[in-house]
Amino acid sequence: MKTIQGAALFLAQFIDDKPPFNTLENITQWASSVGFKGIQMPTWDKRIFDLERAANDLEYCQYIQNTLEKSDLTLTELSTHLQGQLVAVHPAYDEMFDGFAPAEVHNNPALRQAWAVEQLLLAAKASKNLGLTAHATFSGALLWPFMYPWPQRPQGLVETGFEELAARWRPILDAFDQAGVDVCYEIHPGEDLHDGITFEMFLAAVDHHPRCNILFDPSHFLLQQLDYLDFIDRYHDRIKLFHVKDAEFNPTGQQGVYGGYQSWTERAGRFRSLGDGQVDFNGIFSKLTQYNFSGWAVVEWECCLKHPEDGAKEGAEFVKKHIIRVTEKAFDDFADSAIDQQANRRILGL
């Protein structure tokens, strides 16, 4: 067995124009000061990271590594969640998702998609240059408006959607394969890959590509009322990344999983800071350890109530307490009688 690494922090929710969140030097020093050992890096905000430079400039990559090392931090993975979302967008969401892309591709879905694909290809190169082995992203979604089966879906609609999604991602997966990096899709509502079945459908559509893998985030499963421990049993071979994020689900006679169009604070299901929700992290850390997950436990802070700095500081300690240092010997070794094969045969009456 292997010991999970951590705690690391996904920086996306913390970048700001104000110190200490405004530069890579400042934000990494802060992250280290509150207890983190690693950083998962968003790639869409040039205040702290330039994806194009990282893909083409080894000296810049060395600067990134040196900056983190000064704060005793490890770069765990890069993230292209926003760009990955734009690989596949249903027209109903065009205007809302344009904000994820530069202004020059707004109001032009084809150009926006091409830009997103290029971003993923750059991320493959940058990951290789930085010595990384896994990458975090979203799949995007062509089918999400049709998630609920009413009106009745036309025959073949779902299959066509997954065929197209696979066609868009296959060249990207091949590029990451050449770079020696796993693509880890966060299984997430709003994506075509939002549960185990949809991941299996996509995996089959890309012919079980070896780089098609999973970013496991139990908060999204709890809000769907999906058994996240059984998910680990089923898909542990494909789980390469882990977001440690909490959530709670408190349905009433007024609303349930769908939330009644309410704000996050008023929804039956909502994200919480670590330890304030209902996710069974003892079970999760035990399962992942059992299956030899050796990646990083990455805190993704999203809470509708608690201040992010408090959530981060408490999260680092929370992960530290949950990481299981694996044993090198069996608990019952003291009772080993060291009987030889001849004795075994006598015991069996042979």
Helix residue ranges per DSSP H, 77-212: 81-85, 94-97, 109-129, 157-179, 196-205
Domains parsed from the chain with CATH numbers: 5-347 (3.20.20.150)
At 295-340, the pLDDT tens digits run 999 999 999 999 999 999 999 999 999 999 998 777 666 667 777 8
Tell me the three state secondary structure of residue 252.
coil
Rounded to an integer, what distance in angstroms lies between the CA atom of residue 304 and that of residue 82? 21
**Strands, E assignment, the chain:** 5-10, 38-42, 74-80, 134-137, 182-186, 212-216, 239-244, 246-249, 269-272, 296-299
At 167-223, the pLDDT tens digits run 999 999 999 999 999 999 999 999 999 999 999 999 999 999 999 999 999 999 999
At 214-231, the pLDDT tens digits run 999 999 999 999 999 999
**Residues shown for the chain:** 350
Average pLDDT, the chain: 96
Q: In DSSP terms, which residues pair with 299 in a beta bridge?
A: 9, 244
Looking at residue 339, its pLDDT comes to: 76
At 94-150, the pLDDT tens digits run 999 999 999 999 999 999 999 999 999 999 999 999 999 999 999 999 999 999 999
Structure tokens at 300: 């993704």
